[in-house]
Amino acid sequence: MPACLIPVSSLLLARPVRLTEFKSSPAISCTSHWLTGSRPDIIAGMDGAVRYHHAQIDLTQDTSHAQLLLLTGENKKVLEVGPATGYLTELLKGRGCRVAGLEIDPAAAEIARQFCERMIVGDIEALDLVATFGEDKFDVVMFGDVLEHLIDPKTVLMKMRGLLAPGGRIVASVPNVAHGSVRLALLRGDFHYTELGLLDRTHLRFFNREGVAALFEEAGYVVRDWHPVANDLFSTELELREEDYPPYLVESIRSDPDAATYQFVVSATPATPLSNGNLLASSDSAFSHSDVVKDLWKIDDNLREARAGLAEKEAQIIRVEAAAESARRRAARSERERAAAERELAGAIGIIQAMQNSIGWRLLNKLRPVARKLAPRDSLRFRIARRGARTAFSIGTLRPLRRAIRRGAASAPLSRLGATESLPAPVVSRLRVGCYGEHTWSVGGGAVHTIQLLQPLTRYFDVDLLLPPGSPLRDAAWYKESMLIDLAGINVRHYAEGAENEYDVWLSVWNERIWPAATRKRFNMVFFPFVSLDGAGVTHITNSKYSAGHLKQRYGAEDVYVIPPCVDANEFATGPKEPIILHVSRFALPSAYADKAHVMMIQAFKQLCERGLSGWKLILAGATVDEGESVYAAHLAKHAHGYPVEFALNLPADELRRLFARASVYWHATGFSVNEPAAQEHFGITIVEGMASGAVPIAYNSGGPREIITSGENGYLFDTLEQLVEDTWEVATKPAIWKKVSKAARQRAGYFSPQLVEKLMLSAVCKTEKVSIIMGTHNNLPVLKRCLESVFRHTPPGFELIVVDNNSSDGSGVYLASLDYPGLQVLRNRNNPSYPVFNNQGLELATRPYILYMNDDMEAFPGWLEPLIDVLDANPRVGGAGSRLLYPDGRVQHDGKMFSKADLTPYHINMGGRPVRDEPPIEVDTLTAACLLVRRELAGFSTDYKRGYYEDTDLCLRIKERGYALVLHRGSVLIHYHGQTMGRDQAATERAQERNREVFLRRWGAKIPGMVYLADEREMAGTELRCRPLLGADDLMQDWPVTRRLLR
């Protein structure tokens, strides 16, 4: 590469290079870099391209070399035109690039060859590039100080388009002939060529800023990046002295920013490339796509500056709002805690007052003075009496009494446990979903799809949609008017730092970032994976199998759900039809990564008109989100001048629906002009909307449309412009074919329904389809109804429900027959078998991998089932998970069990007390089957137990014996109306308990000491649960849900 420009410093650099980006490269450091493979003894005395060799390149300076490397990037496939001796080629190789060199000087090429995968010696203006490179394509073609040496640089750049890979670019450095030193020299009448620099003796072309822009524009490129490299007027190779010029003249020249620009380093991409590498042009139109691009980029620069200022102001507002929201939440939490403390205090005062009013307390108060006289404190009589009382309490009648109380508590009615009507019922908040939508503040298919995913969740979760700071904060009315989508149940607010850690379920919708969050339920919605990311540890959702395939490849992820956008076909009118071909999309600026192919569709319609299609018109509808897109639409109108082509810009959603109803044919050509996978249509929601309206779809045969349309049956897929014209001609001129395909298209659109999205989204988040719920009932209709109604209200659909009706005669059978739930199975027994028997009958009918045993005297709260599923999903060594069960007044019925060292019997801990405030899952030795989720291969009760006691402990010990752990999840909360499943025959209950306990101890008594933790009396009377663990200390560290939801 003829490095003809050697700036001494960068005093007036407009865009400083971030040199820290180079520090991580093993080939480049902060100190000067020396070429290690060059031979100074060979180079000395050589001419030609070798004279441009740099033995030392200092990349700590803001030079064209640093800029070229920065714009090229790392790990690219590069064609370096004019590498000279390879002094930059070596650095490119060190940054992971694979470089091919094209050098005219054989001596220089020989030196540079060691750093290239391939070296071609020849004149680029004379080479046949097709014969030389064949199908080889490059990410970057570099012209480092080369274009000014060519006879016809425009033709060379045009030829380079065929060598660029999709998304490829040209990077180039070009000297600025309008540098202030050249101007000053000319004013003095001095012009002479130099060996190197601005006026290098081998330069054939000279450029200023406008000249560089014109060169690339005429060659069919868009300049994306301008990096001026600065050098002072009196520090160049022209060796001017400042004192030789009047100060006013120097200052006048210096006032021009480009006077200090020594070189322009640019990055450029092709403007609207077609599949064959040529620019799309119209012979009968003055339309110039490059004019559009130039105007749009100027407008874009202005908009970017304005948005930056606006974003800063909005960011300040967001920070204030976030602080206020945080303060409100702290205040609300403090208020809840204060209220709970007051309720507990009131309860304690009530207990004390009741105790003081009791007969025993009053009798004790009367006896206390007598006792003090007979045995004063610290007297011998007092010490003897106290020791005797302790001994009697320890070994006398009180211990068996306490054991009997614990055994009987399991079947005691609530009234016997001291329940009071004045105590408040427990309140459990819903699980929380947070969704960050980078672009959900604007009109577009992605925004609609995002909200469609959130809508089903609002039935069971509290849902927040978080918009990026600085974006407009839209309300429900805006979404309804702009996109005809209902925002009910979704709270819209701005994202604040750390907000992602406040939610039980986190969904980020951003193609260029996977957002981490504290919760284990992290989802990433990807419309298409434009960049490669590490997708491990996240569940991904995308819109089509096409996108899913690329997502798995680029993210290295397998946990991918395909959930397409939905269309409610019943909301779309189907006529009356008019001779209209419709296309709907944003008027986004075409690029190498995306093109809606508006120009191609106009060309196709022109051909149809010239073929004789009369009375028809093409309507291009869509949004323009900024001034640049409005300019682009205006240029398209110029291109369509003289033909019946209409533009419908920024229509309200209801008007757009009416336009769909009128259209007979729907065109979709996204991806036609670009080979890049990201530029293809990822799904095609407007295609489905057109089909729902009865329009015949004709779409480009690539990407998502292949999953929507069966060509020739419910629409058409085309590969070429000619095929698009032919398919449209057939549909437009043969009504019978149009009618047949239109009907099939509408039927196909019905598949992409809101019900499909609801089913798929709830499955992805909740996974209830993994569960078979088994429940038995006998003459318990009011209790059964309360249970099932709470289950249906608080459980996302998908679960299998098996109800075993044990010969009920109270109308339970009719009630169950009236239920309209697709997963319901009812088994009717002619007798009332025991608890193990009817549950085993239900197990025979179950088809899901997880079995949930559930009593009919339960009442579910929001988010009761999902935590149990999550425990089993996240921990393969967990065999069963149980719930926190409360009495109706909020006191504990089941918050874990421990085995007593005294009698090897399991007892509820803190039964009748207040639940502890924390909710993380904990490992236990046994659980109650009133609500118990187990793996199917571990399920099944022993029928040796009668009526329904100890069979659940037997099951838990069998699970532990097989090496699986048991977990109590206090984030799963239900009310247990205890004793109502087995009836109220207290005598039968006590007989069954004693019998089953004998069976249990015969089977497990010798094994229990080696399997479980045995607690002493003090531990049994406390609230801390202990067990003999099978899990590691960190296995349950990341608990879910994140939020604490038991409010009281």
Give the tens place of pLDDT for each residue, 210-247. Answer: 999 999 999 999 888 888 888 888 888 888 888 888 88
CA 147 to chain centre: 45
pLDDT surpassing 90 at residue 707: yes
> What angle in degrees, to the nearest 10, is found between the helix axes of 951-961 and 986-1004?
20
Q: What gap in Å lies between CA 137 and CA 160, rounded to an integer?
A: 10
Q: Across-strand partners of 222?
A: 269
The pLDDT value given to residue 511: 72
Topology match between the domains 19-270 and 431-562: yes
Q: Kindly state the helix (H) or strand (E) to which residue 705 belongs, with its residue range.
A: helix 705-708
Q: With cut-offs at 50, 70 and 90, classify the pLDDT of residue 6.
A: very low
Q: Is 194 exposed, middle or buried (0-12, 13-18, 19+ CB in 10 A)?
A: middle
CB 490 within 8 A of CB 474: no
The pLDDT value given to residue 673: 82
> Looking at per-residue confidence, does 180 or 22 come out higher?
180
The pLDDT value given to residue 228: 86
Q: What gap in Å lies between CA 356 and CA 365, rounded to an integer?
A: 9
pLDDT digits (tens, 9 = 90+) for 391-432: 554 454 344 444 444 444 444 444 333 333 445 677 888 999
pLDDT surpassing 70 at residue 494: yes
> Looking at per-residue confidence, does 515 or 404 come out higher?
515
CB-based contacts of 580: which residues, under 8 Å, 6+ apart? 616, 617, 618, 619, 659, 662, 663, 664, 665
Structure tokens at 1033: 């200390």
Q: What gap in Å lies between CA 622 and CA 589, rounded to an integer?
A: 13
Q: What gap in Å lies between CA 649 and CA 628, rounded to an integer?
A: 14
Residues 363-379 have a mean pLDDT of 73
Q: Across-strand partners of 1014?
A: 899
CB 823 within 8 A of CB 926: no
Q: What are phi and psi of 886, to 5 degrees?
A: -120, 155
The length of the chain is: 1048
The pLDDT value given to residue 539: 92
Three-state DSSP class for residue 670: coil
Q: Across-strand partners of 102?
A: 81, 120
Cα torsion through 37, 42, 46, 49, rounded to 10: -20
Q: Is 3 exposed, middle or buried (0-12, 13-18, 19+ CB in 10 A)?
A: buried
pLDDT digits (tens, 9 = 90+) for 333-363: 677 667 666 766 766 676 677 666 777 667 7
The pLDDT value given to residue 215: 94
The pLDDT value given to residue 249: 83
The pLDDT value given to residue 15: 28
CB 622 within 8 A of CB 646: no
Q: What gap in Å lies between CA 175 and CA 602, rounded to an integer?
A: 41
Q: With cut-offs at 50, 70 and 90, classify the pLDDT of residue 959.
A: very high
Q: With cut-offs at 50, 70 and 90, classify the pLDDT of residue 332.
A: low
pLDDT surpassing 90 at residue 961: yes
Q: Kindly state the helix (H) or strand (E) to which residue 334 belongs, with its residue range.
A: helix 289-357
CB 75 within 8 A of CB 96: yes
pLDDT digits (tens, 9 = 90+) for 796-813: 999 999 999 999 999 999
pLDDT surpassing 70 at residue 459: yes
Structure tokens at 56: 């030392």
Residue found by looking up tokens 């899952």 in the block: 921
Q: What gap in Å lies between CA 178 and CA 253, rounded to an integer?
A: 10
pLDDT digits (tens, 9 = 90+) for 761-798: 999 999 999 999 999 999 999 999 999 999 999 999 99
The pLDDT value given to residue 5: 33
Residues 265-288 have a mean pLDDT of 54
Residues 93-119 have a mean pLDDT of 91
> Looking at per-residue confidence, does 5 or 521 come out higher?
521
Structure tokens at 11: 């005093």
pLDDT surpassing 90 at residue 308: no
pLDDT surpassing 50 at residue 108: yes
Q: Which of 508, 510, 513 is nearest to 523 (CA)?
A: 508
> Looking at per-residue confidence, does 508 or 353 come out higher?
508
Half-sphere exposure of 535 (CA within 13 A, CB side): 25
Q: What gap in Å lies between CA 965 and CA 923, rounded to an integer?
A: 7
β strands within 20-136, DSSP E:
33-34, 56-57, 77-81, 98-103, 118-121
The pLDDT value given to residue 333: 63
Helices and strands (DSSP H and E) totals, the chain: 32, 35
Question: Per mean pLDDT, which of 2-16, 57-71, 597-611 is the most reliable?
Answer: 597-611
CB 822 within 8 A of CB 759: no
Q: Which of 607, 639, 445 is nearest to 525 (CA)?
A: 445
The pLDDT value given to residue 314: 61
Fold of 431-562: Rossmann fold (3.40.50)
CB-based contacts of 327: which residues, under 8 Å, 6+ apart? none
Q: What gap in Å lies between CA 289 and CA 220, rounded to an integer?
A: 9
Q: Kindly state the helix (H) or strand (E) to which residue 815 belongs, with its residue range.
A: helix 812-818
Q: What gap in Å lies between CA 1019 and CA 1035, rounded to an integer?
A: 25
Structure tokens at 937: 């291969």
> What angle in degrees, to the nearest 10, is found between the helix axes of 735-749 and 685-692?
120
Structure tokens at 352: 């004390």
Cα torsion through 486, 490, 492, 497, rounded to 10: -150
The pLDDT value given to residue 344: 64
- ∠ CA 690-694-697, nearest 5°, is 50
β strands within 681-765, DSSP E:
696-700, 716-718
- What does pTM read for this prediction? 0.63
Q: What gap in Å lies between CA 18 and CA 67, rounded to an integer?
A: 10
Fold of 19-270: Rossmann fold (3.40.50)
CB 709 within 8 A of CB 716: yes
CB 695 within 8 A of CB 664: yes
Structure tokens at 1032: 């590691």
Cα dihedral sign for 847, 850, 852, 853? positive
pLDDT surpassing 90 at residue 323: no
Q: What is the mean pLDDT of the chain?
A: 82
Q: Kindly state the helix (H) or strand (E) to which residue 968 belongs, with its residue range.
A: strand 965-976
Q: Which of 611, 586, 728 is nearest to 663 (CA)?
A: 728
Fold of 569-749: Rossmann fold (3.40.50)
CA 594 to chain centre: 22
pLDDT surpassing 60 at residue 18: no
CB 886 within 8 A of CB 893: yes
pLDDT surpassing 60 at residue 871: yes
Residues 506-530 have a mean pLDDT of 86
The pLDDT value given to residue 960: 96
Q: Across-strand partners of 273?
A: 279
The pLDDT value given to residue 976: 94
Q: What are the residue ranges spanned by the domains of the chain?
A: 19-270, 431-562, 569-749, 767-1020
Task: Find the range with the poorest average confidence among 284-293, 535-544, 1032-1041.
Answer: 284-293
The pLDDT value given to residue 87: 87
Q: What count of other Cβ atoms lies within 10 Å of the Cβ of residue 22? A: 20
Q: What are phi and psi of 400, to 5 degrees?
A: -60, -35
The pLDDT value given to residue 481: 84
Half-sphere exposure of 576 (CA within 13 A, CB side): 1
Residues 917-921 have a mean pLDDT of 70
The pLDDT value given to residue 558: 85
Question: Per mean pLDDT, which of 145-159, 287-301, 384-398 is the most reliable?
Answer: 145-159
Superfamily in which the 767-1020 domain is placed by CATH: Spore Coat Polysaccharide Biosynthesis Protein SpsA; Chain A (3.90.550.10)
Percent of the chain surpassing pLDDT 70: 80
Q: Kindly state the helix (H) or strand (E) to which residue 1015 belongs, with its residue range.
A: strand 1014-1015
The pLDDT value given to residue 981: 53
Structure tokens at 277: 């590498």
